[in-house]
Amino acid sequence: AKQLQRRTAHKVELQSLNPDHAIRDIDLEDVAWIARVIWASQ
């Protein structure tokens, strides 16, 4: 599981609840694309 650690103008940083996993950076463009795919599949 991940939780939002930080959001900037161009990316979001997701921190794992498990400290063994690294922080994950995702571009906001990718987040918007994923949201459209999920919305379209409903």
8 Å CB contact between 37 and 21 = no
Percent of the chain topping pLDDT 90:
100
State the pLDDT at residue 11.
Answer: 98
Which one-letter DSSP state was computed for residue 23?
A: P
Neighbours of 11 (CB within 10 A): 15
- Please state, as a whole number, how many other Cβ atoms lie within 10 Å of the Cβ of residue 16: 14
Residue 2 pLDDT: 95
Q: Which residues of the chain fall short of a pLDDT of 50?
A: none
Report the pLDDT value the prediction gives residue 34, as an integer from 0 to 100.
95
The letter for the amino acid at 9 is A
Of 15, 12, 16, 34, nearest to 25 by C-alpha is: 12
Q: Where are the domains of the chain?
A: 2-41
